[in-house]
Chains A and B, each alone.
Chain A
Amino acid sequence: MRGRPSLYTSYEQDSSLLNTPVKRFWVGALLATLVVAPFRLSPDLTLLLATAFIVSIGAIGLNIVTGYAGQVSLGHAFFIGIGAYTAAVLNGEPSTTSDVLGYGLDMWIWLPAAGLMAALAGLIVSPLAFRLRGLYLAIVTLGLVFIGEHIFREAEVVTGGVGVGRRAAEPELFGFSFADPGTVLGVPLARDQGLYFMALVVLVVMALLARNLARSSVGRAFAAVRDRDIAAEVMGVSLRKHKLMAFTISSFYAGIAGGLLYTITRFLEPSSFGLLLSVQFIAMVLIGGVATISGSILGAAFVTLLPRAIEEAPRFAPFISASASGGFLTTQQLEQILYGVLIVVFLIFEPRGLFGLWVRVRNYFKAWPFSY
């Protein structure tokens, strides 16, 4: 009904994703903007957005296990690494020409395989969550990251070894290369645009799946496990099964994200999958908003675009030097400080993250011109 957006006149309308014309309009506008964007922005910005999309997939995964199901996991970097290396090994050049493993398989094999391998790892790791809670679980998953780092370092036949690294997977699906698309549907696409669309499509699919998960009975069970796990068990929600599912699904997402992420940078090295990466993902989830899908995407976009925004800083603040040894602070250091400060400030003023910020803005406009 016009003017009464919260009046749902059918059960179907109540439970569907895009249940009001306003929402449908805005989603359409968003998709249109996203499709047009790569033709307007410079190549490295397009690539940056593609990276942000892929990273969002990982952030959604972490939100599923930490935000929706309440199982604090600092081990996300480990699963991303597994996904990345599975993809690299399955797609890499056959071992006769390089000293690392490679099987030269196509994307329709390595992408799901990356997700599945990571999901398998998540499955194996999930029993930790049966026994441990809160900080104990967090530190143990942190241990997982360190053990994973160690394995990646030592498994030279897979990873090339620390400080050396190996080539990552190439995004070629049935002979069509997203990195070198040529002309598609009459439109010439450059490398960055091809990768952008690949990332966008995968993100939309995965985000829809996650959203559906969240509003299904499984999602409600997750929320019960998060909020009051003993009460949930009493009500008949199987804790074990749902914790297992949460870790497995989250790791699947991490694997997909890991596999895709390195198609952009084309090279990976074992020490990338450490504490820092895990912390970045936690930051994305917290800054974006816990237990929301769009929050994960917002948070991921924020964290990915932030370094680039800061790189432009020297033009606005002359005491910051872009060169290695001049000035009071280099951009690198400023970026890191700003990163830390922003996390702190953000969480102090809006613990519900960007999503919470959005809720405030939306409520303001909903009630406008009345202030309460």
Chain B
Amino acid sequence: MTRFLQSAVAGFAQGSIYALLAVGFVIIYKSTRVVNFALPGLMILGAYMVVYFGSVLALNFWLALGLAILAAALCALGIERLAIRPMIGKPVFAIAIITIGIDIVLRVIVNDLLGSNVRNVRDPWGLKTLELGAVVIQQRRVAVVIAAAVVVSLLLVFFKYTRIGLAMRAAAFDQEAAMAQGISVGMVFALSWALAGGLAALAGMFVGTGSGIDQQTAFVAIKALPGVILGGIDSIQGAIVGALIVGLFEGFSNTYQTQYLGFLGENVSQVVPYVVLFVVLLVRPYGLFGTPEIERV
């Protein structure tokens, strides 16, 4: 039982990291209809910023984190201006590939800065653990769940109660009507990318807790994609739920798969999210919470 709970907590924590990334993805998709494959690059960029401010400049961790999130958000903004803005109106598929190109460029630059060693994000949780009865939970896992929950609630409040949030929701619903109402859609675009960049930086920092970051860490972000699709690409709640499901399944398969389903081979947890995705999409082709596309002929 304790193993199950520990596994569930680890999975939940991993899912929270994916949730941060997934929410960023969905925000961009909802407001700009752009599929953003640059998440791994943004995440590793953010993680590197934390390393830079925290290790190289040796600032206080929280200050470093805040600065890193800001810096990553600004970079994301810059990318949006330079590469995405000129592509408005062009085929969606081409824009998606452009984000892949951006991802490649980001990753190469950050890998160059990272060097070949593992870098430490200097988080305050390290490998310390917390004990709840018989269950031993690592503090960093608790931290990420709390952080994700707080951030997501803040975002939901932001969207619901502030003017800018309202503007973003309006632009997500219908760009032309929003423009007609005087909402600056360009500002909405920029803000959604900035938010995604900041979220990715936070996620990157958490990925770095426990084992540090190195040149391979960026690929962790790809696992957020099935979570997004699982929940439906235009639903923020769906993104969160989907990401958590993906994380949970990954945690369980890490712990139990070699025991019960050993014939499937090693490291099945990489593939499990996609299997889950297949199954869900068979039943609900637009994801759990996605809105079905209505096509007019």
Name A residues whose Cβ lies closer than 8 Å to a Cβ of B.
72, 128, 131-136, 139-140, 142-144, 146-147, 150, 153-154, 228, 230-231, 234, 275, 279, 282-283, 286, 329, 333, 336-337, 339-344, 347-348, 351
CA of A340 to CA of B90, assembled, Å: 19
Q: Which of B103, B104, B264 has the most CB of A within 10 A?
A: B104
CA of A147 to CA of B108, assembled, Å: 26
CA of A146 to CA of B275, assembled, Å: 10
Interface residue? B118 (CB, 8 A): no
CB–CB A234/B90 < 8 A: no
* Smallest CB gap from B29: residue in A: A135
Interface residue? B225 (CB, 8 A): yes
Known: A333-B108, A337-B105, A340-B101. A131 touches B281 (CB 8 A): yes
CA of A334 to CA of B222, assembled, Å: 23
CB–CB A348/B87 < 8 A: yes
Interface residue? B266 (CB, 8 A): yes
Interface string of B240-282 (1 = CB under 8 A from A): 0000000000000000000000001111101101110110011
Q: Can you name 17 A-B pairs with beta carbons within 8 Å? A: A72-B93, A136-B286, A140-B274, A140-B277, A142-B225, A146-B271, A146-B274, A154-B265, A154-B266, A286-B93, A337-B105, A337-B108, A343-B97, A343-B101, A343-B104, A347-B94, A348-B98
CA of A343 to CA of B95, assembled, Å: 10
A224 to chain B, nearest CB (A): 12
CB–CB B278/A143 < 8 A: yes
CA of A337 to CA of B228, assembled, Å: 28
CB–CB B104/A336 < 8 A: yes
CA of A348 to CA of B86, assembled, Å: 7
* Smallest CB gap from A349: residue in B: B86
CA of A279 to CA of B277, assembled, Å: 21
* Smallest CB gap from B112: residue in A: A333
* Smallest CB gap from A338: residue in B: B105
CB–CB B104/A339 < 8 A: yes
Known: A140-B278, A279-B100. A231 touches B94 (CB 8 A): no
Partner of A234 from the list B111, B267, B297 (CB cut-off 8 Å) is B297
Partner of B270 from the list A128, A136, A150 (CB cut-off 8 Å) is A150
CB–CB A135/B35 < 8 A: yes
CB–CB B274/A136 < 8 A: no
CB–CB A143/B226 < 8 A: yes
CB–CB B277/A230 < 8 A: no
* Smallest CB gap from B223: residue in A: A146
CA of A143 to CA of B273, assembled, Å: 8
CB–CB B225/A139 < 8 A: yes
Name B residues whose Cβ lies closer than 8 Å to a Cβ of A.
35, 83, 86-87, 90-91, 93-98, 100-105, 108-109, 111-112, 222, 225-226, 228-229, 233, 264-268, 270-271, 273-275, 277-278, 281-282, 285-287, 293, 295, 297
CA of A133 to CA of B287, assembled, Å: 12
CB–CB B104/A139 < 8 A: no
CB–CB B229/A136 < 8 A: yes
CA of A362 to CA of B247, assembled, Å: 53
For the complex of A and B, 9 pairs with smallest distance between CB atoms: A143-B274, A154-B265, A340-B104, A343-B101, A340-B105, A340-B101, A344-B101, A336-B108, A139-B229
Known: A136-B281, A140-B278. A150 touches B267 (CB 8 A): yes
Report chain B residues within 8 Å CB of A147: 271, 274-275
Partner of A337 from the list B91, B104, B274 (CB cut-off 8 Å) is B104
CA of A337 to CA of B16, assembled, Å: 31
Kindly list 20 other residue pairs between chains A and B, CB separation below 8 angstroms, not including A283-B101, A333-B111, A341-B105.
A131-B285, A135-B35, A135-B96, A139-B277, A142-B225, A143-B271, A147-B271, A150-B268, A153-B266, A154-B264, A230-B295, A283-B100, A336-B104, A337-B108, A340-B103, A343-B100, A343-B104, A344-B83, A347-B90, A348-B86
CA of A139 to CA of B265, assembled, Å: 23
Report chain B residues within 8 Å CB of A347: 87, 90, 94-95, 97-98, 101
CB–CB B83/A133 < 8 A: no
CA of A135 to CA of B233, assembled, Å: 9
Report chain B residues within 8 Å CB of A344: 83, 98, 101-102, 105
* Smallest CB gap from A282: residue in B: B97
Report chain B residues within 8 Å CB of A153: 265-267
CA of A337 to CA of B271, assembled, Å: 29
CA of A154 to CA of B102, assembled, Å: 32
CB–CB A329/B112 < 8 A: yes
CB–CB B97/A275 < 8 A: no
* Smallest CB gap from B111: residue in A: A333
CB–CB B97/A286 < 8 A: yes
B245 to chain A, nearest CB (A): 14
* Smallest CB gap from B230: residue in A: A139
CB–CB B264/A283 < 8 A: no
CA of A131 to CA of B284, assembled, Å: 9
* Smallest CB gap from A343: residue in B: B101
CB–CB A343/B98 < 8 A: yes
CB–CB B102/A140 < 8 A: no
* Smallest CB gap from B106: residue in A: A340
Report chain B residues within 8 Å CB of A343: 97-98, 100-101, 104
* Smallest CB gap from A279: residue in B: B100
